[in-house]
Structure 1
Amino acid sequence: MARPAYRLLAHSLWDIVPILMALAHFSFVLWLVLAFHSLSWWVILPAALLYAVSLSWSINSISHNQIHNAYFSLPWLNRAFDLLLSVTIGFSQTLYRDIHNRHHRGNSDRPGADGTTVDPLSIYLHGRNGQPDNVWAYTFLSFFRDDPKAIYQEMQRKRPADARWVKVEIGMTVLVYVALALYDWHALLVLLPFWYLGQSLSSLNGYYEHLGGNPDLPIAWGVSSYSRLYNLIWMNNGYHAEHHYRPKMHWTRVKAFHREIREQQRAGGVKVIPLAHGLGFLLKHPKR
């Protein structure tokens, strides 16, 4: 007997939205390469900039929500979707899940006595005198500072099936981009710096999700933005304090949850910014 379509989704019919957007994002990447030589530079440059922004958007919305509440009820479908995200974004989704889960264990913690943090993405890891890292150093150097090798080795020991799937994701990503390079290496060469820019924009987004947060108070671990347009496009990523307080809550429920705990958040000094996190550099941020 066929399984009803709605039962293929593990949590909500609304998850059709990020699933379709992921397919659209993958199609956009393919179009950029396959149509490259038929496009003028007046189209290529804006499209490449959109490609960079779309990487940060996908990492912080589609990929992020898949990590916390996998969209499908069937494990093999989630594996397939992780593979799609890996190829589209250009790195292993399964490995990123482990890195992101460590982020939630540390919640952008300050370095301990040994100078390290639980959270490998902590904005304090490379800061000085207990202060956050410089925003531009964090934005543009995080890509080169990341060292997923130790995380992968631990995955090999504890979850060998996931470690094997990381290899599948990386292998398939390499194969797809080699094939695209054989089709048009000029397109890949032009898009490469925009791919790096997209990873950097994701780091910029993450920086302002925590600048002004309180690593010692769970309700204030994150910084929120309640911009309607931002949360519509980024699938409620703006509710970041709420997300860190209840990381397993589905993305469609965080707005209602915010209304429930609003007074607790005010008492806890939760920081709220009026712009999308990625535009946080346009605001003044007093030191805590």
Structure 2
Amino acid sequence: MARPAYRLLAYSLWDLVPIAMALAHFSFVLWLVLGFHEHSWWLIIPTALLYAVSLSWSINSISHNQIHNPYFTPHWMNRGFDLLLSLTIGFSQTLYRDIHNRHHRGNSDLPREDGTTIDPLSIYLHGKNGQPDNVWAYTFLSFFRDDPKAFYEEMKRKHPADARWVKVEIYLTVAFYLALAAYDWHAVLVLLPFWYLGQSLSSLNGYYEHLGGNPDLPIAWGVSSYSKLYNVIWMNNGYHAEHHYRPKMHWTKVKAFHAQIREQQREAGVKVIPVSHGLGFLLKHDR
């Protein structure tokens, strides 16, 4: 049943949670820079590390859920929210949506004969002999391996309106951080390596979301973690096998979906890890 036209939220009142957290995250970034010289290094270092973790958290929870089920009914509000995410995370949310949708088309697929994968984020793309890439190479080099320009050029041909909005997001994001640098370049310079660390932590998270998944079996495309704390904080990102199996399912429904298909998952050998994906390196893996 369609929602009444006056309802601003497209799916659920629960989406007020990620919306509020996105506003809080943006405020946190402003606080880090605007109050930089009022803080001691005993506060700056741990909050900068928190900033790095918060980038991976936002990319894999707030931003991720906005891609699959945009929070708002009016298109212009989703555009505005995408811009807010772009300013906070430091790259275009609309371009990330395109790359992430490609990820779901390939589902961390194995390389074809020409060495390419459908999924540009596949953990097998830079691996050898059909094996996944080294976890630390994938974590820290993915940032430099990405080629967003190629994706943007295709977007210009297929979705020109989105391509125009990508430019808006990029220009305003650059202007935003230049303005912050003009206010306090020391703060921006100190935070820059932590921004890169945040992007790398997001790659680390993505690596263990698929290490041990089965690229040839839809129900087992992803790897799940049912840690309660992780799923509360990361808005059910732990239900990753379920998410790849039904990517358009709202984040509030994947837990119940897991209960419905638990036996099928067991028979298919869906991999489950006992810790959050970002801590997957603490475990011993078969592959």
TM-score bracket for this pair, using the shorter chain length: over 0.9
The share of aligned pairs that are identical, in percent, is: 85
Deviations 1:129-162 (A, max 9, x none): 1000000000000000000111111110011000
Q: Tell me the SS of whatever aligns to 1:120.
A: coil
Q: Tell me the SS of whatever aligns to 2:184.
A: helix
Cα distance 1:25–1:5, how it changes in 2: closer, same or farther (>3 A)? farther
Quick one: distance in 2 between partners of 1:128 and 1:167? 36
Written as runs of structure 1 = structure 2, the 5 A alignment for 1:200-215 is 200-215=200-215
Quick one: distance in 2 between partners of 1:28 and 1:94? 22
Aligned to 1:79: 79
Aligned to 1:183: 183
Quick one: distance in 2 between partners of 1:6 and 1:233? 30
Aligned to 1:165: 165
Deviations 1:143-196 (A, max 9, x none): 000001111111100110000000000000011100000000000000000000
| Contact preservation (8 Å) 1:86, 1:173 | yes
Written as runs of structure 1 = structure 2, the 5 A alignment for 1:264-283 is 264-283=264-283
Quick one: distance in 2 between partners of 1:149 and 1:190? 27
Deviation at 1:6, TM superposition (A): 7.7
Deviation at 1:122, TM superposition (A): 0.1
Aligned to 2:239: 239
Given the alignment of the two structures, is residue 120 of structure 1 paired with residue 120 of structure 2, yes or no? yes
Q: Tell me the SS of whatever aligns to 2:7.
A: helix
Deviation at 1:46, TM superposition (A): 0.3
Quick one: distance in 2 between partners of 1:264 and 1:150? 39
Deviations 1:66-106 (A, max 9, x none): 00000000000000000000000000000000000000000
Quick one: distance in 2 between partners of 1:286 and 1:181? 46
Aligned to 2:17: 17
Deviation at 1:247, TM superposition (A): 0.1
The letter for the 1-side match of 2:276 is: A
Deviation at 1:275, TM superposition (A): 0.0
Quick one: distance in 1 between partners of 2:221 and 2:148? 24
Written as runs of structure 1 = structure 2, the 5 A alignment for 1:27-38 is 27-38=27-38
Q: Tell me the SS of whatever aligns to 1:8.
A: coil
Quick one: distance in 2 between partners of 1:268 and 1:247? 18
Structure 1 stretches of at least 4 aligned residues deviating more than 3 Å after TM superposition: 3-6
Q: Tell me the SS of whatever aligns to 1:270.
A: coil
Aligned to 2:61: 61
Q: Unaligned regions of 5+ residues in structure 1, if any?
A: none
Quick one: distance in 2 between partners of 1:68 and 1:74? 16
Deviation at 1:5, TM superposition (A): 10
Quick one: distance in 2 between partners of 1:224 and 1:4? 35
Quick one: distance in 1 between partners of 2:80 and 2:192? 25
| Contact preservation (8 Å) 1:6, 1:13 | no
Quick one: distance in 2 between partners of 1:75 and 1:5? 12
Quick one: distance in 2 between partners of 1:61 and 1:208? 15
Q: Unaligned regions of 5+ residues in structure 2, if any?
A: none
Written as runs of structure 1 = structure 2, the 5 A alignment for 1:69-108 is 69-108=69-108
- Normalised to the residue count of structure 2, the TM-score between the two structures is 0.98
Deviation at 1:20, TM superposition (A): 0.2
Quick one: distance in 1 between partners of 2:175 and 2:96? 20
Written as runs of structure 1 = structure 2, the 5 A alignment for 1:42-61 is 42-61=42-61
Cα distance 1:185–1:4, how it changes in 2: closer, same or farther (>3 A)? farther
Quick one: distance in 2 between partners of 1:116 and 1:191? 34
Quick one: distance in 2 between partners of 1:174 and 1:8? 29
- Normalised to the residue count of structure 1, the TM-score between the two structures is 0.98
Quick one: distance in 2 between partners of 1:263 and 1:4? 38
Aligned length: 285
The letter for the 1-side match of 2:61 is: S
Deviations 1:227-273 (A, max 9, x none): 00000000000000000000000000000000000000001000000
| Contact preservation (8 Å) 1:132, 1:211 | yes
Aligned to 1:251: 251
